[in-house]
Chains A and B, each alone.
Chain A
Amino acid sequence: MMQNALGITSVGVILPAGTGLAALRPAQPASSGRVMLVLQVPAIEGISKNDMRRMSKLTRFSLFAGRQAAKAADFSPAAAGLFVGLTHGSTSHLAEFHDYLFDYGPDKASPNSFSNGVTNASLSNVSAFLKLTAGGTTILGYENNGLDVLNCCCQNLSDGEYNVCLAGSSEEYSEVVHGAYRACGWFGEKAPAYLPWPRENGEGVGIGISEGGAFFVLEPLSRYIGRKPLCSFSPVNIEEFQGGADVVISGAGAGMQDVHELRLLERLGKKNAGKKPALLFSKPVFGETFGLGAMLSCLMACDIVASSAVYPQFPVHPSLKNFYDEQQRGPAQSVLVAAAGRNGQTSAGMIYSA
Chain B
Amino acid sequence: MGIVSALGAGVKSHLDALVNSRSGLAPHSFFDGEHKTDVICGMVPHEALGLSIEESAASRADLLLDIACKEALSQAKVNGGCGADVMVGTTAGNFHGATLYYQQKRSRKTPDTNLVSGFLPCTPADYIAEKNKIRGRRTTISSACASGATAIGRAFRSVRNGHASMVMAGGVEALSPFLVAGFKSLMLISKNPCRPFDAGRDGLNPGEGAALMVLESAAAATARGARPLAVVKGFGEALEAYHQTRSNPDGSGISAAVKKALAQAAFQPAGVDHVHLHGTATVFNDLSEYNALKTIFGGRCSEVPVCSTKSMTGHTLGAAGAIAAVFAVLSILNGIVPATLFHEILDPQFNGLSVAKKPFAAELKNVLTASLGFGGEVASLLLGKAQ
Q: Name A residues whose Cβ lies closer than 8 Å to a Cβ of B.
A: 82, 87-89, 91, 94-95, 97-99, 101-102, 105-111, 114-121, 123-125, 127-128, 130-142, 148, 152, 155-156, 159, 161, 176-177, 179-181, 183-184, 343, 345
Contacts and interface: CB of A to CB of B under 8 A. Distances in A.
A26 to B, nearest CB: 28
B345 interface: no
B340 interface: no
A184 B182 contact: no
A170 B158 CA distance: 25
Contacts of B142: 118-120, 137-140
Given A98-B99, A111-B186, A119-B121, A136 B116 contact: no
B238 A133 contact: yes
Contact of B163 (A118, A155, A180): A155
Contacts of B103: 98, 102
Contact of A183 (B111, B137, B182): B111
A218 to B, nearest CB: 17
A141 B242 CA distance: 27
A134 B238 contact: yes
Given A106-B30, A119-B121, A97 B241 contact: no
Interface string B162-197: 010000000000000110111011110000000000
12 contacts: A105-B31, A106-B180, A109-B184, A124-B376, A133-B240, A133-B241, A137-B154, A139-B142, A140-B122, A180-B113, A343-B138, A345-B138
- Most chain B Cβ neighbours within 10 Å, of A98, A116, A135, A176: A135
B209 interface: no
A127 B141 contact: no
Q: List the 6 closest A-B pairs by CB distance, nearest first.
A: A124-B375, A105-B35, A135-B237, A106-B181, A114-B182, A119-B142
A251 to B, nearest CB: 17
Nearest to B33: A105
Contacts of B376: 124, 127-128
A106 B185 contact: yes
B384 interface: no
Contact of A115 (B122, B236, B245): B245
- Most chain A Cβ neighbours within 10 Å, of B101, B119, B242: B119
A296 B372 CA distance: 32
B119 A133 contact: no
Given A105-B34, A161-B157, A97 B240 contact: no
A350 B61 CA distance: 35
B256 A133 contact: yes
Interface in B105-128: 105-106, 110-111, 113, 116, 119-122, 126
B116 A183 contact: yes
Given A106-B184, A114-B182, A137 B141 contact: yes
A80 to B, nearest CB: 10
A99 B178 CA distance: 12
Nearest to B256: A133
A115 B157 contact: no
B102 A95 contact: yes
Contacts of A134: 238-239
B282 interface: no
B141 A177 contact: no
A132 B241 contact: yes
Contacts of A88: 119-120
Contact of B242 (A114, A128, A139, A159): A128
Contacts of B204: none
Contacts of B309: none
Interface string B230-262: 000000111111111100000001001100100
A176 B105 contact: yes
Interface in B194-211: none
A117 B158 CA distance: 30
A159 B186 CA distance: 39
